Amino acid sequence: MSDDGADLEQNVGQRFDRLPETSDERTVEGRASREDVVGYFEERFAIPPETFDDHTFWEKGSGKIWVYAGESPSTVELEALGMTCLRTRQEHWKPTTDAIQRFGRHATRNVIELSREEAERFVDGADQDLEWDGDWGYLIAAHQVAGELEPLGVGLYIHGELRSMVPKGRQRDL
Amino acid sequence: MEPLERYRPVVDDFEAFLEACRRPLGTAVRVNAIKASVDRATATLEEEGVGYEQADWNPRVLRLETDSPGSTWASFHGFTHGQEEVSAVPPVVLDPQPGERVWDACAAPGGKTTQLAALMDDRGTVVGNDSNLGRLSALRFNAERLGATSIVVTNQDARNYSMNPLAFDEFDRALVDAPCSCEGTIRKNPDALDDWSIGHVQSVVGIQKGILRRAIQATREGGAVVYSTCTFAPEENEAVVDYALEREDCRVVPFDLGLMHSPGLTEWEGEEYDSSLEEAARIYPHQNDTGGFFVAKLEVGA
């Protein structure tokens, strides 16, 4: 199929569509491909691509990407398929807290380790001034739990500040 | 406690039963194996000073020494999920295997659905269905928090469930944790018996029968169906299974359960049920200091 946009289909907001393998195979303009999504997690967080070998990726709603391990549905009228993992609507893609908690253990890049006190503030939704000499943008915030580094969720690091991206419903006063 | 009086003839040590029903329930959580081993979950609790006791029958069920099990690091990371001890029984009895196709017909808010996914190592397909769209948001929230990626969520009336949205046309296993009169939850919810009437019991029976029949029809030959409720009423338990036995190709099968329990009833108020219903389990609050539950396991087409 041509990729000039003329005969591309539209994204339908309430329907799950499987992501094409590569952008050459896409039929919806602007839609991310599996290659793009896996590549994003590898480039940004060094999460190995094989982490997602057993998963498929789907889009429902504009730019909202879902990751799913089960058998592909035959129609697309479903309430949910696996979990939301990535928002691709904006220039800077944004992973979800839940996907980072699930897959972020495999990350070795752009992971900021927080102390227990910093972690408490982070999960309570607070922004905090922190030293970080790596990239700006979305980071994986993590802390030590029972002897291992465990991802807490997504933070946005900008101008010397780590902003908590933990959604209201997932915030906790610990 | 008045509505429970009618169970005096069938419950051993009825006074102990009533006494247990008056006591509030302790706090229990289930370890979510998708995100943490039992060792890691318990080490996390120890690190934050939360006491716990592992259930004898299931090392993944922990009784916690806290009133707010959601305010722990173990919970924030999705290592644990607040779930009543007996509520963890039906998925264990269903015994789903990695890679299988499993239907949870009445899935919201998702404690058992996510437990099924965890028992399958998050591999295979768990279809979590509920007729109530509002309650589905709780199911989705829990599935994502617990990191389950093998769950498909559908919103249908389970009594005439359509397989059309799915990639296959029968399930390997199905769980029918039916909407019920909830008598067994009295320790958690002291208002549970306020609206009790035999009319209410009878009104849910029709729905229960419809869902169980559909679950049997949607499960492959040799597959398993577990029927469970959190109530004591035989009208909603043995009578529903008996009804399905007469109309669908299935039989009651025994299962091992490491919890104290009583056998299912084979007669109640002049009604007789199939003798195989003895293989079902009635779990009473005084037997294990839990809530109350009924569980029956069926094998399809055998």
Residue B165: which of A75, A83, A101 has the nearest Cβ? A75
Q: Residue B162's CB: how many other CB atoms inside 10 A?
A: 12
Cβ-defined contact of A69 to B78 (cutoff 8 Å): no
Residues of A in contact with B124 (CB under 8 A): 70
H or E element, residue A121? helix A116-123
Query: Binning pLDDT at 50, 70 and 90, where does residue A86 land?
Result: very high
Say what the pLDDT of residue A30 is.
83
Say what the pLDDT of residue A2 is.
39
Query: Binning pLDDT at 50, 70 and 90, where does residue B50 land?
Result: very high
Residues of A in contact with B154 (CB under 8 A): 78-79
Q: Is B44 on the interface with A (CB under 8 A)?
A: yes
| DSSP assigned state of A147 | T
Cβ-defined contact of B35 to A101 (cutoff 8 Å): yes
Residue whose token pair is 């499987």 = A18
Tell me the nearest-neighbour CA distance from B213 into chain A, angstroms.
23
pLDDT of A83 over the 60 cut: yes
Say if CB A86 and CB A115 are below 8 A apart.
Answer: no
Which residue in chain B is spatially nearest to A150 when comparing CA positions?
Answer: B77
pLDDT of A34 over the 90 cut: yes
Strand partners, A163: A156
pLDDT of A93 over the 90 cut: yes
Say yes or no: ipTM exceeds 0.95.
no
Strand partners, B282: B262, B294
Cβ-defined contact of A98 to B124 (cutoff 8 Å): no
Say what the pLDDT of residue A8 is.
63
pLDDT of A7 over the 60 cut: no
Query: Binning pLDDT at 50, 70 and 90, where does residue A4 land?
Result: very low
Quote the CA–CA distance of A66 and B86 in Å, as a whole number.
32
Between positions 96 and 135 of B, the ones with CB within 8 A of A are: 101, 122-126, 133
Say if CB B168 and CB B101 are below 8 A apart.
Answer: yes
Mean pLDDT of B160-185: 96
Residue A72: which of B124, B164, B167 has the nearest Cβ? B167
Cβ-defined contact of A68 to B149 (cutoff 8 Å): yes
Residues of chain A contacting B, Cβ within 8 Å: 54-55, 67-84, 96, 98, 101-102, 123, 145-148, 150, 152, 169-170, 172-174
Q: Which tokens belong to B46?
A: 């120890």
Question: Which stretches does DSSP call E strand in chain A?
Answer: 17-18, 56-59, 64-68, 80-81, 83-87, 94-95, 111-113, 128-129, 137-145, 148-158, 161-164
Q: Residue A13's CB: how many other CB atoms inside 10 A?
A: 9
Minimum mean pLDDT range among B2-6, B10-14, B67-71: B67-71
Tens-place pLDDT, residues A106-142: 999 999 999 999 999 999 999 999 999 999 999 999 9
Helix, strand, or coil (residue A139) = strand
Quote the CA–CA distance of A84 and A5 in Å, as a whole number.
27
Mean pLDDT of B126-134: 96
Buried b (16+ CB within 10 A) or exposed e, B255-293: bebebebeebbbebeeeebbebbbbbbbbbbbbbebbbb
Residue B167: which of A73, A98, A147 has the nearest Cβ? A73
Residue B144: which of A76, A79, A83 has the nearest Cβ? A83
Distances (CA, A) of A84 to A33, B151, B157, B200, B220: 15, 12, 25, 39, 31
pTM of the predicted protein model = 0.95
Say if CB B127 and CB B154 are below 8 A apart.
Answer: yes
